[in-house]
Structure 1
Amino acid sequence: MKKLINLTLALTLLSGFCMAQQSVSELVRSMSAQHPRLLLLKGEETLVNQQVKKHTEWNNVHQAILAECDKLVNEKTLERIQTGKRLLSVSRECLRRVFQLSYAYRTTGDQKYLKRAESEMLAVSGFTDWNPSHFLDVAEMTLGVAIGYDWLHDKLPEESRLKIRQAIREKGIDPSYDKKYNGFLSSDNNWNQVCNAGMVFGVLAIAEHEPDLAEKTIARALESLPKAVKPAYHPDGAYPEGFGYWEYGTSFNVLLVSVLEKALGSDFGLSQSSGFLKTADFFQNLVGPTGLAHNWGDSGLKNGLSPAMFWFAVKNDDPTLLWSQRNMMSSKNVRFVGNRLLPAMLIWGAKTDLEKVKAPVHKVWIGQGPSPVALMRTSWTDPNAIFVGVKAGSPSVSHAHMDIGSFVIDVQGERWASDFGMQDYNSLETKGVDLWNRAQNSQRWEVFRLNNFAHNTLTFDGQLQNVKGYAKIDTRSHDEAQPAVTMDISQIYKDQVAEAKRGIAIQDQKYVVVRDEIKTLDKPVKMRWNLLTAAEVKIIDGKTVELTKNGKKMLLKFETKAKIEIKIWPTTPTHDYDAANPDTQFVGFEVEIPASSSESFNAYFTTDGKVKPARALTTWNVK
């Protein structure tokens, strides 16, 4: 019976894919030969120009692009300079330059932007290759050149069109059919999203010359992409690779959906994948009132403009998704033009009335999936609000660290509990570090920033967290005035302790409590409770630490019956390949927990020292 069910399911999936192939064939064959067809059709720039005139914020972005393009006119064209195994920085700069120059030409008609974009495309078309051994490089280069070719098509000389078209085919699309390079097709991470997007843009740009290739490549993307999309967003939209890779993988996923809708009139159901339309809430909630992200995993820290958020705001009919985006658009301190996808923001937001952008209503966001996360705050409008982000999941996830149970905390406009985030990959790869092996005993976990010793979590007897372990958000409070979550992280410490549970709550809108409950096996353990902070640290007594930052103070108070020893540890790297960690330190405590016993520990982050004792996690008002 089970075999019959599996066979039926397989036939259903095959039938669906065959129908998609047939639909792709019909749509490609009936597609207009007119350019432009990617993202912004002929004449649609008029709507963008109208929006620019209507809102100061849009004009800020528009004028920033034009000013940047005026500078680019006098820059040297790009050269094929590889950094380690990557050409990626060149590919990204090509995408940035060509996208912005093409936008500048379409919205102003100024020939200097057209000529400069043509020069950039011809320069990269003359490269020996686009570095297919690291296929992200090919994907981003192809996408950038495809946009320029399509948007400027009718104004380019035929000789230039031919050279650029050949480069898209030979240096972009063809290598994606070589098994040495197309591992992205079976990938479940951002490579799948980015690489498929680049290939689809490439074939759509030249579809009238390569209709068979266009059909085949689009159908292949529709078969491949769900392998990444389902695990990435199901069920709640919590992107497993974190803040920085959300911006990367999701932005290219949105580009792919958008270009299919615009060129073929259908996204073939991609936008309706489980959790996909919810994921914008995840991204917005990851940023605290300090403007800093909860940067777990291989992520950067700083928030920035995200064109994809404008697409989600329209798709969800939810202007509140643009709350932080609008604030950044209004700031003169934001460097807009470093974002290589910036013109897409004006395209996707062309119909958005920024006057309707209000603060979100809900102040708690919980997402499960491969990397569950809880994000809680006391206000969206108060820059001094309390913000807490806590991470569950597994170190086995792509780009994950051994950070299960770790958290960040913002209060009074400062970040008190921090996360190092990522280290530049090339700095490790050039030293021969086996960075991408996530096995329990791999060298990856020797990198200072990646293991549990460097995160705001627990360590037992100096051991690493269990790579194969997993923890979800088990319970949450539905009272946003007293937000709280609990998680059982016992699997993460398999064979180290019998049970480990952590809960985090914002109490009375005034302070944060972190509670840990530990049961030992038939052996004693030495536990380290760790906090990474950029604050100055002063031990006041055996249960109290004073943190000071920018003239503001925070007390870290510990409550337990166990005999703890508060300690301060340096964040000095342990290997020559580790990045420096200036102006940071660890503080926390060590404690001996007897065999076959239970202990609990409360840690309070409070500005005035006034707290209520936190009770057992089973009594917390959570479900």
Structure 2
Amino acid sequence: MKYLKIILLIFLPYFVSAQQLKLENGQELKLHPRLLLLAGQEKDILENVATDKVYRLIHETILRECDKFLSEPPVKEIKIGMRLLDKSRTCLSRVFYLSYGYRMTGNKSYLKRAEQEMLAVANFNKWNPTHFLDVAEMTTAMAIGYDWLYNDLSESSRKIISEAILNKGIKPSLDSTYNGWLGKKNNWNQVCNSGITFGALATYEDHPKLSQEIVDRAVKSIKLPMGQYAPDGGYPEGYMYWEYGTSFNVLFLSAIKTVYGEDFGLSTEPGFINTASFLEHLTGTTGKPFNYSDCISTAQFNPSVFWFANQNKDNSLLFIEKSNTLNNDSLRNRLLPASMVWGIGLKLDDVPVPLKNFWVSEGENQVATMRTSWTDKNAIYLGFKTGSPSASHGHMDVGSFVMDANGERWAMDFGMQQYESLEAQQVNIWNMSQESDRWKVFRYNNFAHNTVTVNGNLQLVAGKAFIEHSSSNPNFLSATSNITSLYADNLKKLVRGVAIVDEKYVVIRDEVENKSKEVNYRWTMATPASVKILNDTTAELSQNGKKLLLKTQLNYPSKIRLYSAAPTNNYDAKNPGTVLLAVEAKLPADCKTALSVFLIPKDEKKLDLKVKALKDWPSDNN
């Protein structure tokens, strides 16, 4: 009897975990691993690796990174400004990659290195709950490593990691001092709910009641940002934050689906299932994104698109991701292993070309994109942005556009400046009021965007614009927006239309009604090209041996001028190799006029550059 008691004491934890807990929906709690990739599914991934060069490239990239991690010391608790996020992301990348590497190869060096990383992080004083994204990503890392490596971690390591997840991840999320993200509609909600849910699911058997409460809370809360995708999949925070918010949203849906067998209807929230198409259309013919708002100017690899392709049974959604994979020697994404999980059942040897050359989003920050081809690298691409500067991560870029042609980006957006560089100089970039420091930053205001400036004034933060008319006619791809509310202090009316005409050139047309005072009107386009002004109405742009002609039409005197894109404040980022091309005119009081700017990528000598009034442009709305 004495020995029986000893045996029971030793093995009781295993007996308890083997007695499957019942989840709220009646399902039995799966044994580890239970997050994203169940036991035995490794073979499905390895089958893809063996038969498909895209998966093989991703797989080999992950293993190559795993080998590098082996010689690197674990992360240390060092903040950059207000954030520990850099360390959280490093930990997530390492633990996710190493856990994947171990499950795919059985290499125990990967197991030991992941365990070392998690124990180091568990020993941090805290995971910086005052900037809760840091906690969320760290909890995601620890949860994946704990769950995927559970059966091969030492009992002491499991205990330390589980307690760290509880005390430094889950419990801080219950504190109202730190959990304001529960009521937010932006990426914070998606990332934080996902991360804490991962922690709760990974350690469910240790505190089933609390874990279930966390899941229930998240299912209710995450509907708020998911509502932002309605009605058609547009995401108001733009290309870069689409990757951030949507990726963690998909992680959340995927995790609860593997545990509960369902996602409680969340994937059917209006617009969400269509949002991968929105992302795809934000990529120009150069491969560069339409990087409006806070966004970097380079393309990103997006693992979550594999999930959307699987859910929609539509491989064409992977057209851009496949291209990014094959043309990029260093796939950089801390969630990269998830693409292998979500790619199970998807064959990439035949990824069809997307069917539509035109996209309009109808959400909070409405965008129109159009192109003449998906496969011709010399094709024309045009992106057009409306919305409001007051939107999350917004810039004063309403009415702005980007343009690609002949394999070059001619009209560009500078994109974001790294937050820490501004915060370190005490610039308050998170105040969105009209007089905020945010709008003094060069890259954030309308002076540096491809839009309009009147009398040297900022756009009005309270203003908001929408895509009012659009046309998917291949001979006149176009969109128009009334952007008057952004300039109501100076103008009676301002409507902008953009179009690709006859698949040959672009026109940007502004129709203006002035108030009772003369105004200085400035049309701006940022460009990386060299610019030669030929006369007051014509300029020649050159880059990489290619040329683009810019011509203007206005029934008042105007001039083309060039302005430096060099920083205007000591805290501004540098903008080497770029220039601001401006068309300037004095518009008299009470005038009604139109400025048309033509961007012609080829030497088209016989073009008829007349353009109709915006009211006569074709429209799919009619």
Letter in 1 for 2:258: K
2:78 and 2:211 mapped to 1: Cα distance? Answer: 30
- 2:125 aligns with one of 100, 111, 128: 128
1:32 and 1:280 mapped to 2: Cα distance? Answer: 31
Instruction: Give the alignment of 1:114-513 within 5 angstroms.
Output: 114-230=111-227, 232-331=228-327, 333-336=328-331, 338-513=332-507
1:59: how far off? 0.8
Helix, strand or coil at the partner of 1:263:
helix
1:51: how far off? 0.9
CA contact (8 A) 2:194 2:251 kept: yes
Helix, strand or coil at the partner of 1:355:
coil
1:165: how far off? 0.2
Greater displacement, 518-527 / 201-210: 518-527
1:590: how far off? 1.3
1:87 corresponds in structure 2 to 84
Helix, strand or coil at the partner of 1:259:
helix
Helix, strand or coil at the partner of 1:274:
coil
Counting aligned pairs with the same residue, the percent is: 47
CA contact (8 A) 1:293 1:301 kept: yes
2:36 corresponds in structure 1 to 39
Greater displacement, 560-569 / 507-516: 560-569
1:27: how far off? 3.3
Residue deviations 1:257-300 (CA, integer Å, cap 9, x gap): 11011111111111111110111011011011111000000001
2:104 corresponds in structure 1 to 107
Structure 2, gaps ≥5 residues long: 1-20
1:60 corresponds in structure 2 to 57
1:29: how far off? 6.8
Letter in 2 for 1:166: E
2:12 corresponds in structure 1 to none
1:25 and 1:212 mapped to 2: Cα distance? Answer: 11
1:355: how far off? 2.4
1:30: how far off? 4.0
CA contact (8 A) 2:474 2:502 kept: no
1:455 and 1:328 mapped to 2: Cα distance? Answer: 27
CA contact (8 A) 1:406 1:457 kept: yes
CA contact (8 A) 1:28 1:211 kept: no
2:30 and 2:362 mapped to 1: Cα distance? Answer: 44
Helix, strand or coil at the partner of 2:499:
strand
Helix, strand or coil at the partner of 1:221:
helix
CA contact (8 A) 2:540 2:550 kept: yes
CA contact (8 A) 1:379 1:385 kept: yes
| Structure 1 segments (4+ residues) deviating >4 Å | none
1:419 and 1:575 mapped to 2: Cα distance? Answer: 19
Q: 1:25–1:479: structure 2 CA closer, same or farther, 3 Å change rule?
A: farther
Letter in 2 for 1:286: L
1:358 and 1:79 mapped to 2: Cα distance? Answer: 45
1:621: how far off? 1.1
Letter in 1 for 2:171: D
- 2:603 aligns with one of 590, 602, 608: 608
2:262 and 2:30 mapped to 1: Cα distance? Answer: 17
1:313 and 1:86 mapped to 2: Cα distance? Answer: 34
CA contact (8 A) 2:22 2:28 kept: no
1:481: how far off? 3.4
2:276 and 2:573 mapped to 1: Cα distance? Answer: 31
1:387 and 1:604 mapped to 2: Cα distance? Answer: 14
CA contact (8 A) 1:58 1:329 kept: no
2:312 and 2:510 mapped to 1: Cα distance? Answer: 38
Helix, strand or coil at the partner of 2:404:
strand
1:482: how far off? 2.0
Letter in 2 for 1:201: F
Helix, strand or coil at the partner of 2:581:
strand
1:480: how far off? 2.7
1:592: how far off? 1.0
Letter in 1 for 2:482: D
1:70 corresponds in structure 2 to 67
- What number of residue pairs does the alignment pair up? 597
CA contact (8 A) 2:465 2:482 kept: yes
Helix, strand or coil at the partner of 2:481:
strand
CA contact (8 A) 1:73 1:116 kept: yes
Structure 1, gaps ≥5 residues long: 1-23
Instruction: Give the alignment of 1:588-603 within 5 angstroms.
Output: 588-603=582-597
1:32: how far off? 2.4
1:301 and 1:350 mapped to 2: Cα distance? Answer: 31
1:141 and 1:598 mapped to 2: Cα distance? Answer: 57
Q: 1:25–1:392: structure 2 CA closer, same or farther, 3 Å change rule?
A: farther
Question: What TM-score, normalized to structure 1?
Answer: 0.94
CA contact (8 A) 1:499 1:520 kept: yes
Q: Does 1:544 align with 2:538?
A: yes
1:593: how far off? 1.0
CA contact (8 A) 2:52 2:349 kept: no
Helix, strand or coil at the partner of 1:354:
coil
CA contact (8 A) 1:102 1:117 kept: yes
1:81: how far off? 1.2
2:29 and 2:615 mapped to 1: Cα distance? Answer: 63
CA contact (8 A) 1:328 1:334 kept: no
RMSD of Structure 2 on Structure 1 (CA): 1.2
2:319 and 2:271 mapped to 1: Cα distance? Answer: 21
Question: What TM-score, normalized to structure 2?
Answer: 0.95
2:577 corresponds in structure 1 to 583
1:611 and 1:256 mapped to 2: Cα distance? Answer: 53
Residue deviations 1:471-523 (CA, integer Å, cap 9, x gap): 11000113133211111111111121010001011011010000000001122
CA contact (8 A) 2:474 2:503 kept: no
1:68: how far off? 1.2
Letter in 2 for 1:445: W
1:328: how far off? 2.3
2:434 and 2:324 mapped to 1: Cα distance? Answer: 41
1:25: how far off? 8.2
Letter in 2 for 1:302: T
1:33: how far off? 4.7
